[in-house]
Structure 1
């Protein structure tokens, strides 16, 4: 009887153990099934699709480089009086357009005109003395011919005539000098242009040579640009080039270059004649295509990842056995940078596929799928 009870107890325990093992096995199967389903569902979502581009090496690449220049007038003068005096009138103001020969300003010339009048009177008096001396000489000549006077007397009268003529010429020269001073009391426009500065007003005292007005020849503008000697050598005389300004483009024809390298700027000055509307003082940028003297490939700047010590890299997509790609950074050197793109070279094969953008959302070693390719 006791043996029978022992077997019953043993059988009951084994049944409990077997039941427990069965439940555990079912739990493992369900968990594995759910995990597999989860992997099947999350697999594509966990492998992001990225934009890419194919590397294409170039040995003949070039890029546009901008060289700034300044629009200036061919002629610009600061005008003043050659003699001093009180300013009587300034007939123009800033912004006024003037023509060559137009009177721009005058000095007070009343005192000078009085001196000219006095000099003219002295000249007239001297002329009268010359006439009297000449008449006297003529009469003395007649008397000499009749034997009434000596030759000595005639010579004395002739000398008086010459002295009177000399005094007349001196008086006339003095009057002419004063008239020249009168002409220097007027400022005339030396060429057609526009007044850009008025530095004094009526009533002021002008010193000789003091600048009072500034005039710019705005109908004949030019652009001067500092260029590397090799770039200046590519320009063609008479060819029209386009310049960029804040208000649009300016067309200008290449006239000449100095041909001399400035020791301070290491550049050659090229001069262009402006053919379209422009304003003196504008900054204009000349774009020239410059050859890149090395082999490399273009990438958008969004494809560059900055590393330590100022190094740059691109993310290369390397195929794996799962039909996806693994991100691998490759170091590159930036040769030139031009408005949103860079010309680089480095340990990247020609034809390699690299990440085009979105580097901040991708990490090296991550698996990705190829999306749109540029």
Structure 2
């Protein structure tokens, strides 16, 4: 039976062994190559995950004429008219809203006490004038008698002194008469200039006390043909106010109409309480559409006033970095490298900030940058869909 089994030659055995060894080597090489490729993929994945992904936006153009501030319209000239004499209001002739001319009578005061004081003062003046005339006659007579050696020089000098005293008394009485005549003239309340009566705080029969510290005037007359528009400009923008600047404004009662204004002058000082500088603009109101005392929303034209010829741009407020060197933003360049640039805030709009210098409208700004972001960092920028990154 054993003689009938086939015999394997040594050459065949060696061949099978070589084939098995080659297969083992191939399997080992394939496993090693697979592990190398997996390691390289893992390295690439680790490197990719180490690059921070950031959202970027492009700045919007600064709105040079969009500095909107509240303002208050005031008449070009406004005069509260008070009484200058005591008495009772006999009659008033004008009411609120009526136009008046300079010197026009607004009301009349009945002042019998002043009238009687004037009568007494005139009588006192007549007495003082008679006494002065008598003293002048006596002085002239005694001067002549001195020349005839009929009286002494001392007596003549006394008469001359009495004349001087009587002259002074007459002048005093005359001044009192003129004072009371002026008070009598003040019984007629007149308009100080052409304008409109904007308030009347008296009525027929009211007791008028010139020296009683009356809290409000009898009338108020305002010249509304021109108006003054007062605006408080924040200290950060006070340096941008220039002579000849223009502005536009609207009012709540005429929301669809825009009115022009021109800078007349500024206070050139910052108020310690408000931290703002008062600016006065001139407004033409010939048509009478605008009302003094009204609120206005003023848009100051600060075009070209951001300084150094640099165009102002607007960025989201969350793009700012606060470093010990100052305020900055992170800009991503063409090779996705971060550049931290210092900036200066020109205006604060809340959600947006207007920057004067530091970045250009074509730059890509990192929005909500990580606190640890630094110069030279590589990032993966995510731009807005459609390539639109400009704001405003």
Say which of 184, 188, 195 aligns to 2:197. 195
In the superposition, relative to structure 1, how do residues 199 and 147 fare at CA in structure 2: closer, same or farther (>3 Å)? same
Q: Which residue of 2 aligns with 1:216?
A: 222
Matches within 5 A, 1:107-122: 107-122=109-124
Paired with 1:165 and 1:266, the residues of 2 have a C-alpha distance of: 62
- Which runs of no fewer than 5 residues in structure 2 stay unpaired? 1-54, 303-311, 318-349, 354-364, 370-380
For the pair 1:206 / 2:208, whether they are aligned, the reply is yes
Q: Which residue of 2 aligns with 1:174?
A: 176
Say which of 340, 352, 358 aligns to 1:336. 352
Deviations, residues 4-54 of structure 1 (Å, cap 9, x unaligned): xxxxxxxxxxxxxxxxxxxxxxxxxxxxxxxxxxxxxxxxxxxxxxxxxxx
Say which of 233, 239, 242 aligns to 2:248. 242
Q: For residue 68 of structure 2, give the secondary structure of its aligned residue in structure 1.
A: strand
Deviations, residues 213-249 of structure 1 (Å, cap 9, x unaligned): 1222212311112222343433432233211223111
Paired with 2:114 and 2:160, the residues of 1 have a C-alpha distance of: 36
Q: For residue 139 of structure 1, give the secondary structure of its aligned residue in structure 2.
A: helix
Q: Which residue of 2 aligns with 1:283?
A: 295
Q: Which residue of 2 aligns with 1:340?
A: none
- Which runs of no fewer than 5 residues in structure 1 stay unpaired? 1-54, 297-333, 338-342, 356-374
Paired with 2:271 and 2:142, the residues of 1 have a C-alpha distance of: 79
Contact 1:200–1:212 at 8 Å: present in 2 too? yes
Q: Which residue of 1 aligns with 2:277?
A: 268
Offset of residue 191 of structure 1: 2.8
Matches within 5 A, 1:39-58: 57-58=57-58
TM-score (norm 2): 0.57
Matches within 5 A, 1:219-368: 219-246=225-252, 247=254, 248-276=257-285, 277=287, 278-287=290-299, 291-294=312-315, 335-336=351-352, 345=367, 349-350=382-383, 352-353=385-386
TM-score (norm 1): 0.59
In the superposition, relative to structure 1, how do residues 292 and 83 fare at CA in structure 2: closer, same or farther (>3 Å)? farther
Moved more, 268-277 or 285-294: 285-294
Paired with 1:254 and 1:344, the residues of 2 have a C-alpha distance of: 39
Paired with 1:289 and 1:229, the residues of 2 have a C-alpha distance of: 17
Contact 2:89–2:205 at 8 Å: present in 1 too? yes
In the superposition, relative to structure 1, how do residues 59 and 204 fare at CA in structure 2: closer, same or farther (>3 Å)? same
In the superposition, relative to structure 1, how do residues 346 and 81 fare at CA in structure 2: closer, same or farther (>3 Å)? same
Contact 2:261–2:283 at 8 Å: present in 1 too? yes
Offset of residue 351 of structure 1: 5.3
Offset of residue 264 of structure 1: 4.0
Q: For residue 147 of structure 1, give the secondary structure of its aligned residue in structure 2.
A: coil
In the superposition, relative to structure 1, how do residues 242 and 130 fare at CA in structure 2: closer, same or farther (>3 Å)? same
In the superposition, relative to structure 1, how do residues 241 and 130 fare at CA in structure 2: closer, same or farther (>3 Å)? same
Q: Which residue of 2 aligns with 1:161?
A: 163
Deviations, residues 107-142 of structure 1 (Å, cap 9, x unaligned): 213332332233222222322222223223333333
Contact 2:88–2:207 at 8 Å: present in 1 too? yes
Moved more, 104-113 or 151-160: 151-160
Contact 1:232–1:257 at 8 Å: present in 2 too? no
Moved more, 81-90 or 259-268: 259-268
In the superposition, relative to structure 1, how do residues 204 and 295 fare at CA in structure 2: closer, same or farther (>3 Å)? closer
Contact 1:62–1:289 at 8 Å: present in 2 too? no
Paired with 1:346 and 1:353, the residues of 2 have a C-alpha distance of: 21
Q: Which residue of 1 aligns with 2:378?
A: none
Offset of residue 71 of structure 1: 1.3
Offset of residue 295 of structure 1: 6.7
Offset of residue 57 of structure 1: 4.2
Q: Which residue of 2 aligns with 1:11?
A: none
